[in-house]
Amino acid sequence: MHICYWVFNETLSVEVPTENKKTYKKRQRMQQTAESVWGKCLNFVEDNIDPQAFKTWFKPIVPVKLKDNALNIEVPSKFFYEWIEEHYIKILKTSLHKELGDDARLVYIIRMENTYGSKLPFTQKIPSSGRKGIDNQSIEAPSQGETSGLKNPFIIPGIRNLKIESQLNANYNFDNFLEGDSNRLARSAGIAVANRPGGTSFNPLLIFGGVGLGKTHLAHAIGVQVKENYPEKTVLYISAEKFTQQYIDAIKKNNRNDFIHFYQLIDVLIIDDVQFLSGKSGTQDVFFHIFNHLHQNGKQVILTSDKAPVDMQDIEQRLLSRFKWGLSAELQKPDYETRVSILKNKLYRDGVELSDDIISYVAKSVKTNIRELEGAVISLIAQSSFNKLEVTPELAKRVVEKFVRNTKREISIDYIQKVVSDYFKMDVTTLQSKTRKRHIVQARQLAMFFAKKLTKASLANIGQQIGHRDHATVLHACKTVDNLAFTDKQFRKYVEDLTKKFSN
C-alpha cells in the first residue's frame, strides 16, 4: 500500500452562517462521513467535467475514511492518482474546500497488485514540480505519431487527445469477407457484434478454425465495422504473443497495475491466436481479471484460436469456462462455390480478368485454405506478367500443379476412416455404427485417434464425422488408444501399421 498526501495552500472564501464560524464548522464536520463528503464532491466534479472523463477517472474511486479533516480515498493505481493530480487538482481543491474548509487534506490510498511482493511504486519518481506535500510521478508517453507496435501500452485511450491506434487493418472488412456455408455462422455473429458490441449474447465471440481460413480477417472486419458504427469507442486488436510480451515488460518495470488498468478501459478488445496463452500461467491470470472486468462492464471481447475451447491444452479451466460464455463459431474449409467466389472477388479487386474455366480449375485444385487459394492465383498472375505469357489452361495447370505439389496436404477424416476400415476389413458404415463389438470399437477409436493426430479438425468435428459422436467420446478414444498402445502388444502393432500407411 502506498499513501500520498497533499495539502491545500490557497485560501478560498467559503460562506457560512454568521453564527460562530468555528462552532458551526466543527459540528458540521462531525456529522459528515467519508461517503457523504465524497458524494458531494463527486456531484460538483460531475457538473464541471466531461461525462466520459468523470466515468473513467472518478467512478472507480472509493472513499475510505474521514479523520482530522483528511479525506482518505482509494484509487486503483499510481498512474491513476498521477493523472488526477495533473488534470483535476484544481476542481478537487474547490470541491473539498467547499465541504471541509480551507484546511482540508486529501489522502490517496493506492492498492498495489505486485506479483513479486515488491513495495516499490509502479512508476519512477521525477523531481517535484512545486506542489508541496507529494512527490510527483509520471509515465512518459510517446508522441501522437507513434502508433506502431504499441510501444507504450499505458496510454489511456479516449481521454482528451491521448488516443491509441486500434491496430486494425482497414483492408480486412466484411465487404471482402465472402459468405459461404463454411463461415456463415461466424460471419453473421461478427456482424451482430459489430452492430451492438457488448450488447449481444455473443460475448465473448470466439472464432476458431485451421490455418488460412480467415480468422484474423474476420476479427479485423468486426473491429473496423465497430469503429465505423461507434467512432467514440476504443477498439484494440492485439496478438496474444504481443499481449504476453507487454505483460512481461510490465512485470519487469513493476507496472502490472497500470497494465491491467489500461486494458480495462478498452471498449472492444480483440485478441488474436489466444491459444498462445497456453502454459503461460501469469499471463492467463492477468487476462482472467481483465476479461472479468470487461465482461461485467458490458465491454466486448473477441478471440481467435486455431482450436475450439474443448481442444485447448494448458489453459486454466476458469478461463476456458469464460471462453464458453458466449459463442464459439468455427470457420471450416470453403466449399467449391465459395472458393470460386473468393477468387472472382480477389481478381476483381486486383483488376485482373481470367476465364471462368481457369478460375474453376484453380478452385477445384486448391482445397486446403483461402490463403493458399489466393496464393495460387497470385503465382499464376505473376508468371503471366513477368514472362509476358497469356494465361492459358496449360499455364494454369503447370503453375497450380507445382504449387499444390509443394503444399503439404492435410489428410482428410474421410480418408482416415477408409484406411482404417480397409485395414480391419470392414466398410466405413460399420466403423461408424453404434455397435459395441470390441474389434469395431477399437477400429473406431483408432480412426478418432489418427483424425486428431493428423488433422486440425476440432474434437467435436471429428466426432460428428465419425458416427455423430460428441467431443468427450473422441477424447476418451484418444486416451484409450494411448493406454492400449503402451500395454497391449497386438494393439501397438495396429497403431504402428496404420502410422506407416498414413506416412506413405
pLDDT at 142: 32
pLDDT at 60: 83
For the record, the C-alpha cell of 275 comes out as: 491459444
The rounded distance, in Å, linking the Cα atoms of 404 and 388 is: 23
CATH 1.10.8.60 is the classification of domain 336-405:
yes
CATH 3.40.50.300 is the classification of domain 166-331:
yes
Element (H, E) at 384: helix 370-386
What contacts 52, CB < 8 A, 6 or more positions away? 158, 159, 232
pLDDT at 384: 65
Q: In the chain, which residues fall in CATH 1.10.1750.10?
A: 413-503
- Three-class secondary structure of residue 168 per DSSP: coil
The whole model's pTM is what?
0.51
Question: Environment class of residue 421 by beta-carbon count within 10 Å: exposed (0-12), middle (13-18) or buried (19+)?
Answer: buried
Q: In the chain, which residues fall in CATH 3.40.50.300?
A: 166-331
pLDDT in tens, the chain (504 residues): 555 555 444 333 334 344 455 555 554 555 578 888 888 889 888 888 877 778 777 888 888 888 888 888 888 766 667 677 777 888 888 888 888 888 888 887 876 443 333 333 322 222 333 333 333 332 233 333 333 344 445 444 433 334 567 888 888 888 888 777 778 888 888 999 999 998 888 889 999 987 778 889 999 999 999 999 998 888 999 999 889 988 988 888 888 888 888 888 899 999 999 988 888 888 999 999 899 889 888 899 999 998 888 777 788 888 888 888 888 888 887 777 878 877 777 777 766 677 777 777 777 777 667 777 777 777 777 766 666 666 777 777 777 776 665 444 557 898 899 999 999 999 899 999 998 899 999 999 999 999 998 887 888 889 989 998 988 899 999 999 998 988 888 999 999 999 888 876
* Pick from 240, 294, 303, 220: nearest CA to 262: 294
Ordered alpha helix ranges (H), 271-369: 281-296, 317-323, 336-350, 356-365
pLDDT at 447: 94
pLDDT at 159: 38
The rounded distance, in Å, linking the Cα atoms of 263 and 145 is: 21
pLDDT at 379: 74
| Helices and strands, number each (H, E), in the chain | 20, 9
pLDDT at 229: 92
The rounded distance, in Å, linking the Cα atoms of 369 and 211 is: 7
* Pick from 136, 44, 38, 40: nearest CA to 81: 136
The rounded distance, in Å, linking the Cα atoms of 60 and 112 is: 15
pLDDT at 501: 85
The CATH classification of domain 2-110, taken from the options 3.30.300.180, 3.40.50.720, 3.40.50.300, 3.90.1530.10: 3.30.300.180
The rounded distance, in Å, linking the Cα atoms of 342 and 338 is: 6
For the record, the C-alpha cell of 280 comes out as: 503461460
Distances (CA, A) of 425 to 44, 331, 343, 432, 439: 83, 34, 42, 14, 11
Q: Output the CA angle 94-97-98, nearest 5 degrees.
A: 85
CATH 3.30.450.20 is the classification of domain 413-503:
no
Q: In the chain, which residues fall in CATH 1.10.8.60?
A: 336-405
Element (H, E) at 207: strand 205-209
Are the CB atoms for 170 and 217 separated by under 8 Å?
no
pLDDT at 308: 84
Q: What are the residues facing 302 on neighbouring strands?
A: 205, 270
